[in-house]
Structure 1
């Protein structure tokens, strides 16, 4: 298998060397070294002293003391005054700091907005219907992020977030707003779990136990997400009319993939133990809230059994499925940017300019449609998808994949991610089922348009 399989088959283009990338973005070729500063000073000293000896220098100065040295001394004094003023400006003023503490500066970094796990990405993509529930989520997300601050953690700030969240969680009339009547009991169970979980987080923070705080915060966020899903309506936007004829998933869906080795051997080892297994079970969560057209297209392919019997093409960057299944069929590139209310269609994101996706590719187990070589610009293959093996070591300085913003992510492997490295070329998909989300899918196969 060629080493550049991912870029040729998945991206539909050849890999670009890193050196050319740097020359293009950093404009290295136009940089020219200037004359060293000390050379210019020596030349100036020789010129001034020569004029002094010939009595042609019009600037009055002491013997052996050139006018440029006076200017240099004045510049040094001015620089020292500026430095003293800067140091004074950073002293506490009226009980506050003139510059933010390191932790606040870290939290305001643009890259802090990018989720780094499957749970976080799926949780943050849920439309905010109930603002009080969303406030609890945001506060607990802040606690989760502050736990990553090394050494001295801001325990007081985390405690305040948890206390404010608990006050909101103990007001059922606010937290239950928007829950359908038929799902009241289910929502009440999740709300009770949130209340109990927040109290446990408080206890862990009082003990300043980072591990327990992290685990219990994750449990609270998981229950908050389930409550938000119950409250979330369909889409918070209307896709463009020119794509109305395509299937759309207006919410969440779940697909179960079962994969076997071509020789039928038992070679898959799961985290639960029990020895090698003959099948690999992958649970894929389709995110229709942010990518309804792409997720709807994939769900339709699954219902039509398009991927059953397909063999995998695997390399170190990803797992490609369905290559050449339906020739010529394509769908628009669909990516929702952070802060936007609807996806961008037919155009990649400019990540370098600060455009970041709601569903990032830079998470191990992200799923996107591939770029077929014959697909038009701004479109992706309708049949080929790949599971991305994100690797932090081969990513950019911000921890983002070099292909971030070029592919429309529509799903994540939520269960069975430990099996992805065990997949090899030639493995076969023996089953692909849409286990939930039928009621969210428009234009079911075989139904009237």
Structure 2
């Protein structure tokens, strides 16, 4: 059945549009697409890589280092192009042998930590070169992940301050001024996700605040569409979170940070703004992207309901899907992909907990 559906989708964009899922609240559905100008792109599909690239830093050598290591995965998929892997590793090695430009973006109090990370990366790249020489694909993949985790730590060490001011009109909402990690126990197993407050401080802050309150504990996954989305976050007696202080529905404004912009756009989708070819910093190109559900006709009406995007290349090709800029992503699944793939409507969230980054949560102003 799924194979037949995929075949039809390849030959009919109209059918793809007809499969758009009700993601929002009550009768809400996906906004009709102005798809003609959407870029194709060779999008990144790894959530951890997307999070690394989303960090608000401006250091060309470390980005070149990351890109050379990220590219190894592409080469291994492309019929094991070992010569290209070797070239990537040579570039990484050259960058690490002259670390001065990388260290220039590290604050003084973190220099020692950064130097240690660079030495560890040098050892890791040397190991990768040895593994590539004997064409050990699986061990290269494992070691590459280890080294990229070190790169991510180094890039995180370059971030000193939150890069922009959130509009004061949203001071009544929780904000995540940095990143946080949430673990979620479900009836099928455990999930781990990283939330990006640098790109979506209000949307991520809302989610972290609700997790902190225990709001999601015991809730069911209410909607599942194979190879598309899995949705949850609806309490029994409302469409979203009712703030116990105000007794009112907490509405979260639409929020999206576009590549090249210094701060997010609020209150309007990229489609509504006519920015059809602009790409969000956090795209729908990874299995397990987290986004806020909302009513179709109220772009600022999201609250507690959210969905996991079940990225499937043939149904929702990276760079061509119909969600980028229309729904607000606030993080990515980093562990538990096999569990997410098994979850269906009716399964439950047993508990959710903020395990890192809670200090980055800024409480609402009075």
The alignment's TM-score, normalised by the length of structure 1, stands at 0.65
In 2, the alpha carbon distance for the partners of 1:192 and 1:357 equals 34
**Structure with more of its chain in helix, by fraction:** 1
Corresponding residue for residue 339 of structure 1: 260
CA distance in structure 2 between the partners assigned to 1:136 and 1:215 by the alignment: 17
- Equivalent residue for 1:442? 362
- Matches of 2:162 and 2:194, distance apart in 1: 17
Aligned residues: 333
Classify 1:158/1:366 alpha carbon distance in 2 versus 1 (closer, same or farther; 3 Å).
Answer: same
Match of 2:203 in 1: 294
Out of 325, 331, 334, the position equivalent to 1:411 is 331
- Residue 349 of structure 1 is matched in structure 2 by 270
Question: What residue is the counterpart of 2:232 in the other structure?
Answer: 321
Partners of 2:46 and 2:286 within 8 A in 1: yes
Q: For residues 9-408 of structure 1, what are the structure 2 equivalents within 5 Å?
A: 9=24, 13-14=28-29, 111-112=41-42, 114-150=43-79, 153=81, 155=83, 159-179=86-106, 183=110, 186-206=113-133, 213-260=140-187, 268=188, 280-316=189-225, 317-323=228-234, 324-326=239-241, 328-350=249-271, 353-372=276-295, 376=298, 378-396=299-317, 400-408=320-328
CA root-mean-square deviation? 3.3
TM-score after normalising by structure 2: 0.78
Cα deviation digits, residues 314-353 of structure 1 (max 9, x gap): 3223222222232542111111222323222222234994
Contact map agreement 1:250 1:289 (CA 8 A) in 2? yes
Describe the SS at the equivalent of 2:286.
coil
Name the counterpart of 1:78.
Answer: none
Q: Which has the higher contact order (CA 8 A, sep 6+)?
A: 2
1:365-410 per-residue CA deviation (whole Å, 9 max, x = no partner) reads: 111110136x63x3141211112222223225x5633223211110
Mapped contact 1:256–1:284 kept (Cα < 8 A): yes
- Name stretches of at least 5 consecutive residues in structure 1 with no aligned partner: 27-108, 261-267, 269-279
Deviates more, 1:345-354 or 1:311-320: 345-354
Rg larger in structure: 1
Call closer, same or farther: CA 1:380–1:401 in 2, change over 3 Å: farther
Alpha-carbon distance change, 189 to 403 in structure 1, aligned in 2, over 3 angstroms:
same
Q: 1:299, 1:434 within 8 Å by CA — same for their partners in 2?
A: yes
SS at match of 1:7: coil
CA change 1:154–1:281 in 2 (3 A) is closer
Specify the SS of the correspondent of 1:331. coil
For structure 1, which segment, 307-316 or 350-359, has the greater mean C-alpha deviation from structure 2 after superposition?
350-359
Whether the 8 Å CA contact 1:395–1:401 is kept in 2: the answer is yes
- Counterpart-to-counterpart distance in 2, 1:258 and 1:411: 17
Structure 1 pair 234–110 and aligned structure 2 pair: CA distance change class (3 A): farther
